[in-house]
Amino acid sequence: MPLYDFACRVCGRTFEAMAKMGEGQSVCACGGTAERLLSVGGGYRADADWLPSVMAVVDKDSPKPHVRAFLAEPSRANYRRWLAGEKLRPLEGGESRRPPAPGPDIAREVRARFAARHGVA
């Protein structure tokens, strides 16, 4: 069986595990369910430090094209497209790199704070 990269939905850790072709999930050391990171390639590292925090907030059931594209290939280019599609922006210097706690209203909350900070509707 080939090795695949997985990202835990609970603790955010990424790890390698053997998996059958087409098997999309594994179990993390913490007991949480881990999602397989598909199609490693294109120069991105599956253990990149930004990836788990992004995976924690991506709506994996969303049918939106920018979400599907990112989940299929979580490269930096697709990450930027996802950010744009969610009307988010990368962190700037000095901002906290800690991801917000996963929740259903993350995107709205982030947009609201962004709007408040920048005085836009």
Give the C-alpha separation, 118 to 121, whole Å. Answer: 9
- 10 near Zn ion, judged by CB under 5 A: yes
- The residue among 10 and 115 lying less far from Zn ion, judged by its C-beta, is 10
- 11 near Zn ion, judged by CB under 5 A: yes
Q: What is the DSSP letter of 26?
A: E
Q: Site for Zn ion (CB under 5 A): which residue of 8, 37, 46, 51?
A: 8
Min dist CB 14 to Zn ion, Å, is: 10
- The residue among 7 and 106 lying less far from Zn ion, judged by its C-beta, is 7
- 32 near Zn ion, judged by CB under 5 A: yes
Q: Site for Zn ion (CB under 5 A): which residue of 18, 27, 30, 84?
A: 30
Q: Give the residue carrying structure tokens 């609201």.
A: 112
For residues 69 and 81, is the Cβ–Cβ distance under 8 A?
A: yes
DSSP element (H, E) containing 17 = strand 14-18
For residues 88 and 46, is the Cβ–Cβ distance under 8 A?
A: no
Q: Give the residue carrying structure tokens 């990149």.
A: 48
- 28 near Zn ion, judged by CB under 5 A: yes
Min dist CB 82 to Zn ion, Å, is: 22
Query: Which are the contacts of 87, defined by CB distance < 8 A and separation ≥ 6?
Result: 107, 111
- 99 near Zn ion, judged by CB under 5 A: no
* Site for Zn ion, rule CB under 5 A: 8, 10-11, 13, 28, 30, 32
